[in-house]
Structure 1
Amino acid sequence: MVCSYCFQFIGSVELQIGRKLYLQDLGVSAVDGCGSSDEAGCSVSSEKVGLPQDAIQSLMNGGLKLPYSDNFSLPAVVPCAGACEEAYYCSKSCAEADWDSFHSLLCTGQQSSVSNTKALMKFTKHANETNDIFILAAKVISFTILRYRKLKASHLEQKGKHKSSNCCNSYNFPLLLEAWKPVSMGFKKRWWDCIALPEDVESCDEVDFRMQIKDLAFESLQLLKEAIYDEECAPLFSLDIYGHIIGMFELNNLDLVVASPIEDYFLYIDDLPCSQKKEAEKITKPFLDALGEDYSIPCQGTAFFPVQSCMNHSCNPNAKAFKREEDRDGQASIIALRRILKGEEITISYIDEDRPYAERQELLADYGFRCGCPRCIEEQP
């Protein structure tokens, strides 16, 4: 369980282990995994060992305390203001920021102000079953609508008009453009035009494939419109805009990995002096065996960072978009790979730049361009 706004792990080590085991029993993958138990240095069985449900519940509800878990304190769980039981936070400030930025329009809780929660649940179900990139697109639209409403309220207040005035329902395109501005820098090709052709799709079937992708986006958009449509923000709900938003994530996303405290906890137990380790493992080993190699799985997803997303590609970049191990939240860094001169453009590589020229060009074709950086000019046949 991570904070829905900053992606810090929250609750407790016991809660994290309990939830992972609970989802494991349900056959649900909580997060995409990376890393292996061999690299981590813990001796775990490759086959998972089942545990009684009451033991898992004891971990989740705080009934069971694991040895030395106090050394891995995590922020307390703060529930969603709308009581949706889907979004949880590490602090009240994160909960309020998420509510104000996105979630107040996308919350399906009983205390939510969303008028059509059933439609919203249909949209979310469709996204989970097809492509969760639609959730990201919905957040962009929600963010823009909420920002537009704040800008309009401020605009009316400055003019000394009340919200009850008839002009409150009028359409203000300049304010909508201003609300859209933080997103506009990442606005890219439409999703069905820029998505890479899967290996199992023949080039002769490309037109049909892209039409299917477009139809999928259309279906998603209709569900979203039914849920949160705002007439004053109608341009945001056009299929063309929706396709561009999804394309933005398709081309400019950055993989984001937040290390799990569960791995750190079991490594800590493994490094204890022999007598303490044996005593602790009487309690911890059954849970480690039940997790199997899943004990080291981090929280892994995708993110859009406006600064990073505006950086151009080079096969000989001077910087790198980087997720440091010490970053325990959703932050990422841009680090210099060499000295950068004043006035020099900061570039990153969208691909593995160590590949040969032809392979690099083939990979970059998925981004819709042919690279003409100094290195490619020098290496081209």
Structure 2
Amino acid sequence: MIGCRQDCRHVFYCSDECEQQHWDKFHQYECPFLDKIFALHDFNFNDDVINYARLVMRMLTHRLLEVLHKPHDMSIKDIWISRSHFDKFSMEKKKEFEVVAKILTEYILTGLIPSKIKCSHESIDFIQSFLPDTTDAEKVEINDFHFWFTEMTHLCLFSNDAAIIEVTKCLLIKVYILICMEEINALFHITFALEGYTHAPQTYAMGMYPSAAFVNHSCSPNLARFPVQEDRDNVRVGDVVFFATRSLKKGEELCYSYLEREYELYRKEQVNANEIIEAQTKRKQRLKEEFFFDCDCTRCFNESKGNLDTSYAALVKELKCTKSECKGWLIPSFEKYMRCEACGTSP
């Protein structure tokens, strides 16, 4: 295992070539700042916060490469059209986002602004254009901004004039909105490699997939997805592949489940109506809390009446691994047969 050349202890590589590529593209910018990201643990923030802070940091580093006209595979504009729902998060979440936004704005101001920018006029132009404009920025309030900005003036050697204050506040708000976009639209990869196929899958990576963000949810989805595990001719590691879970009709909307697919009730020999209604209520509440919408799909309607949904029953029958102890689902392999994502067996 190869460590960081600066001994930051936060990244490791499989080879010297891998380390060099990552250093050239990202880590030269991110390395000096990762200690500050991981220090969020000291403020009782959990690993989930660290993970999304690192993802947004990577999105900001991508943006620098875009601004400097270096090769990149995603534009900030692809992400910026996503919905943020900035006004719907709980007060606790909003406070958390403010803390992370201030740290990541500091990253932009101290780590990403090119050293060639020397004068205030160039700095103002860079800060102003670093993230796209949004009308949502006018509706977001950041607590203790002036106290935070006073600390920033010492770190960035900025002059404390009205123009610098205004563009910095606007940048901070835009970073806050970007965090909200990430929280709503980011996708996780899952693996069974850590604890085995008899346990629930573990998340091991997260990323922004702008096109996938436009696919709506259904509790009885006609799409499912899996992460690419090795480079091939038309896909590479990190890509997400969507596949149909059943035959599709012309004009039918494509939907996948934003939550993990449940199957326990649909595997029981006998299930009563109260169990079905309780499970549907919990699922609906979770969708409302995490994604801010009320699901009105056919499965929700049927289960709210205490009835199992026939389309979802068919999905479980066709795609749930038949091993009684296995938690995995069947996915298509690149060899054109179905296999279990967890135990690897084929039906």
Output the TM-score relative to the length of structure 1.
0.47
Structure 1 SS opposite 2:173: helix
Deviation at 1:135, TM superposition (A): 1.6
1:358 is aligned to 2:241 = no
* Kept in 1: contact 2:102–2:172 (CA 8 A): no
Which structure has more helix as a fraction of its residues? 1
Structure 2 SS opposite 1:300: strand
Deviations 1:316-346, CA, capped at 9 Å, x for gaps: 2101133588999645432321112344332
Give the Cα separation in 1 of the matches to 2:10 and 2:182: 23
* Kept in 1: contact 2:37–2:103 (CA 8 A): no
Q: How does 1:171-186 map to 2 (within 5 A)?
A: 179-186=75-82
Which of 138, 142, 146 aligns to 2:65? It is 146
Deviation at 1:141, TM superposition (A): 0.9
Deviations 1:156-195, CA, capped at 9 Å, x for gaps: xxxxxxxxxxxxxxxxxxxxxx9422323545233xx454
* Kept in 2: contact 1:320–1:336 (CA 8 A): yes
Cross-structure match for 2:245: 337
Q: How does 1:55-74 map to 2 (within 5 A)?
A: none
Deviation at 1:369, TM superposition (A): 1.0
Cross-structure match for 1:123: 36
* Kept in 2: contact 1:188–1:248 (CA 8 A): yes
Deviation at 1:210, TM superposition (A): 4.7
1:243 is aligned to 2:176 = yes
* Kept in 1: contact 2:224–2:243 (CA 8 A): yes
Q: Which amino acid aligns with 1:369?
A: F
Which of 214, 227, 247 aligns to 2:110? It is 227
Deviations 1:103-126, CA, capped at 9 Å, x for gaps: 332123xxxxxxxxxxx2553243
Residues 324 and 224 from structure 1, CA distance in 2 versus in 1: closer, same or farther, beyond 3 angstroms? closer
User: Mean alpha-carbon deviation: is it higher for 92-101 or for 354-363?
Assistant: 92-101
Higher relative contact order (CA 8 A, sep 6+): 1
Structure 1 SS opposite 2:68: helix
Residues 92 and 245 from structure 1, CA distance in 2 versus in 1: closer, same or farther, beyond 3 angstroms? farther
* Kept in 2: contact 1:361–1:370 (CA 8 A): yes
Which of 77, 84, 87 aligns to 1:188? It is 84
* Kept in 2: contact 1:148–1:179 (CA 8 A): no
Give the Cα separation in 2 of the matches to 1:98 and 1:342: 44
Residues 107 and 187 from structure 1, CA distance in 2 versus in 1: closer, same or farther, beyond 3 angstroms? farther
Give the Cα separation in 1 of the matches to 2:110 and 2:302: 53
Q: How does 1:268-279 map to 2 (within 5 A)?
A: none
User: Mean alpha-carbon deviation: is it higher for 361-370 or for 222-231?
Assistant: 222-231
Q: Which structure's CA Rg is the greater one? A: 1
Q: Which amino acid aligns with 1:144?
A: R
* Kept in 1: contact 2:217–2:256 (CA 8 A): yes
Give the Cα separation in 1 of the matches to 2:94 and 2:217: 29
Residues 107 and 325 from structure 1, CA distance in 2 versus in 1: closer, same or farther, beyond 3 angstroms? closer
Give the Cα separation in 1 of the matches to 2:98 and 2:19: 35
* Kept in 2: contact 1:319–1:348 (CA 8 A): yes
Calculate the aligned-residue CA RMSD, in Å: 4.1
Which of 207, 211, 214 aligns to 1:310? It is 214
Give the Cα separation in 2 of the matches to 1:339 and 1:94: 41
Cross-structure match for 1:105: 29
Q: Which amino acid aligns with 2:69?
A: K
* Kept in 2: contact 1:308–1:321 (CA 8 A): no
Deviations 1:292-335, CA, capped at 9 Å, x for gaps: xxxxx978343333343332101221011335889996454323
Deviations 1:197-224, CA, capped at 9 Å, x for gaps: 5xxxxxxxxx4x3553344234424532
Q: Which amino acid aligns with 1:320?
A: A
Residues 334 and 92 from structure 1, CA distance in 2 versus in 1: closer, same or farther, beyond 3 angstroms? farther
Residues 229 and 329 from structure 1, CA distance in 2 versus in 1: closer, same or farther, beyond 3 angstroms? closer
Output the TM-score relative to the length of structure 2.
0.51
Residues 251 and 97 from structure 1, CA distance in 2 versus in 1: closer, same or farther, beyond 3 angstroms? farther
* Kept in 1: contact 2:105–2:175 (CA 8 A): no
Residues 104 and 259 from structure 1, CA distance in 2 versus in 1: closer, same or farther, beyond 3 angstroms? farther
Residues 318 and 87 from structure 1, CA distance in 2 versus in 1: closer, same or farther, beyond 3 angstroms? same
Structure 2 SS opposite 1:309: helix
Give the percent of matched residue pairs that are identical in Structure 1 and Structure 2: 23
Residues 144 and 226 from structure 1, CA distance in 2 versus in 1: closer, same or farther, beyond 3 angstroms? closer
Cross-structure match for 1:165: none
Cross-structure match for 1:267: none
Residues 323 and 127 from structure 1, CA distance in 2 versus in 1: closer, same or farther, beyond 3 angstroms? same
Q: Which amino acid aligns with 1:365?
A: K
The number of residue pairs the alignment matches comes to 224
Q: Which runs of 5+ in 1 are unaligned?
A: 1-10, 12-76, 109-119, 155-177, 198-206, 265-296
Cross-structure match for 1:33: none
Q: Which runs of 5+ in 2 are unaligned?
A: 114-122, 132-167, 263-275, 306-347
